[in-house]
Chains A and B, each alone.
Chain A
């Protein structure tokens, strides 16, 4: 009974972390799939949104849902401005310029946050309804983790349905598959990209806020978790919601297990696994073998 409880605890903790990873990364996957833009600064939007959410709750005493909404829309608005004025110029540039540009943006976000808020880590005060323990029959576990897993599943389901069942989802899938053909058919790819970019950044903001409680939130956030976001996206497959969901959950559980049992260098297995998967399937788990 004790072993079952321990395993359940590990799996639930890992799934909760993976869920946060999914919520942050899903927008990155879709925007990269749409435009082929290597946006290393995606984590910076998660941090920006996380700060809005945490600060509005801690200092302005907003409720959790209101703060999340504020973070989502604030970050989405900022990302639209950046996309219109800066990102747009680099769509046809090489990957190297995109990498350089987004690393520059990360530095600006880190320095800006340090100047405006300070370099100390921010902590999220959970509302009392989420901070207790929940009886799941075999195990008592933190309500907040269960809440995250459920929310993440609903978000994945919602985005998946949007992709499969709506007009705009069809347009996104068509553009990911073949952008020039989609443009020829009259799909306004520019507008589509702005919308998905804003939505993806908003989701990243929510992920940053929801994860602040156990990932922490300080100005180094966009660099600290950069590799994890990229692994989730590249292993899951560009432009694939379900692929990123699975990849993020696996990554979350693996990371949880490894940091628990092999705190020193255990993450080596994550990198090795990523290399093996990408060598076998360069376009990710959900992508085809090779073009």
Chain B
């Protein structure tokens, strides 16, 4: 009371927004106009390419799966090679419930898939997340392999290697039925599910919880030092990420109306990792860009030139790891910074010298 406030304090109290860093932080989570673009593109795709809707479903499922991995890997920094374990858990949950006619309603089916995958994520995370580095990589990889072999062994229930074909999936809201031959309902359903999950994830990563995850990724020791419950937060994040991967898997099973062992393998885990890193991890839209670029290239190149596709993919991965760690979005951001930096410097120079 008695001490007069210094001018600097006054300025800080009156106009904290003047500080460019504070302003940037406050603006970060605002919804930008361009964020409508992916959703407009998603709707436009429905009308523009009616013949490619099942490809579109695959694309949406891959985006959702990559988003879930982004939460664990991009935000909390958990390096996992076994994320397909949760995708597969969700897919088999939906598939087995549908095959035996226990539960065919799609929306609650996805919630059940999330529950099953989330429980597996929570239980495995409780023990796995104590480790780091190669040990963590191996443990996630082995957990996935364990589930894969379990699904292979329990062939009486899971269909083994052949999987479960032609799942009966109920209509959405009891009205919109899935047509197994034409994927229009499936596409719109998948787009809606992706939108809901994305809004959830966007809110989550900009919340205080999400910020603390970024802190854990950037400097885990400092987060321990300031008293953040690091292990609990990482476990919660891993569980949510697993549940979301389960939704992606469930959606995959519903839109394709089948489940097989390919849901659980190293191939799928590696592919989603490549998709995410290609787009740029730790940024919400990396999953979108990565999935579109990867699947479009795969769809059109891999069938015609499979070997060249693999060679090109390998060279691309090496290039990204060596020179473009932020993926496509990181590269775009760097270019933009450079360009806009040059522009603002030129403007300043013009203003300074009238």
Residues of A with Cβ closer than 8 Å to B?
32, 36, 38, 86, 89-90, 93-101, 103-112, 114-115, 223, 226-227, 230-231, 233-234, 238, 264-268, 271-272, 274-275, 278-279, 282-283
CB <8 Å contact, A101 and B139: no
- Whole-angstrom CA separation of A230 from B322 in the bound complex: 23
CB <8 Å contact, A111 and B314: yes
- Whole-angstrom CA separation of A84 from B320 in the bound complex: 18
Residues of B within 8 A of A (CB-CB), count: 44
- B172 at the binding interface (Cβ < 8 Å): no
- Tell me the smallest distance from the CB of B136 to a CB of chain A, in Å: 9
- Whole-angstrom CA separation of A231 from B81 in the bound complex: 14
- B318 at the binding interface (Cβ < 8 Å): yes
Chain B positions within 8 Å of A32 at CB level: 134
Partner of A108, one of B146, B149, B318: B318
**Cβ-closest chain A residue relative to B127:** A279
Residues of B with Cβ closer than 8 Å to A?
73, 79, 81, 127, 130-131, 133-135, 137-139, 141-143, 145-146, 149-150, 152-153, 155, 160, 266, 270, 273-274, 277, 281, 307-308, 310-311, 313-322, 325
CB <8 Å contact, A104 and B149: no
Partner of A112, one of B155, B311, B320: B311
Chain A positions within 8 Å of B137 at CB level: 38, 95, 99, 230
CB <8 Å contact, B79 and A95: yes
B73, B150, B308, B318 — most chain A CB neighbours (10 Å)? B318
- Whole-angstrom CA separation of A267 from B145 in the bound complex: 9
CB <8 Å contact, A104 and B133: no
- Tell me the smallest distance from the CB of B315 to a CB of chain A, in Å: 6
- Tell me the smallest distance from the CB of A221 to a CB of chain B, in Å: 14
Q: List 17 A-B contacts (CB under 8 A).
A: A95-B134, A97-B321, A98-B321, A100-B321, A103-B317, A104-B313, A104-B320, A107-B311, A227-B266, A230-B134, A230-B138, A233-B134, A234-B135, A264-B160, A267-B149, A268-B153, A275-B142
Chain A positions within 8 Å of B273 at CB level: 99-100, 103
Chain B positions within 8 Å of A265 at CB level: 149-150, 152-153
- Tell me the smallest distance from the CB of B331 to a CB of chain A, in Å: 15
Chain A positions within 8 Å of B131 at CB level: 278-279, 282
CB <8 Å contact, B318 and A278: no
**Cβ-closest chain A residue relative to B160:** A264
State whether A105 and B318 are in contact (beta carbons under 8 Å apart), knowing that A99-B79, A100-B274, A278-B138 are contacts in the complex. Answer: yes
**Further pairs besides A95-B79, A95-B137, A104-B319: 6, Cβ < 8 Å:** A103-B274, A104-B317, A105-B314, A267-B149, A271-B142, A274-B142
A101, A104, A109, A115 — most chain B CB neighbours (10 Å)? A104
- Tell me the smallest distance from the CB of A80 to a CB of chain B, in Å: 17
- Tell me the smallest distance from the CB of A218 to a CB of chain B, in Å: 13
CB <8 Å contact, B322 and A101: yes
- Tell me the smallest distance from the CB of B311 to a CB of chain A, in Å: 4
- Whole-angstrom CA separation of A250 from B137 in the bound complex: 21
CB <8 Å contact, B318 and A101: yes
- Whole-angstrom CA separation of A109 from B155 in the bound complex: 35
Chain B positions within 8 Å of A114 at CB level: 307, 310
- Tell me the smallest distance from the CB of A211 to a CB of chain B, in Å: 20
**Cβ-closest chain A residue relative to B153:** A265
State whether A282 and B314 are in contact (beta carbons under 8 Å apart), knowing that A90-B322, A268-B153 are contacts in the complex. Answer: no
Chain B positions within 8 Å of A107 at CB level: 310-311, 313-314, 317
CB <8 Å contact, A271 and B317: no
**Cβ-closest chain B residue relative to A287:** B135
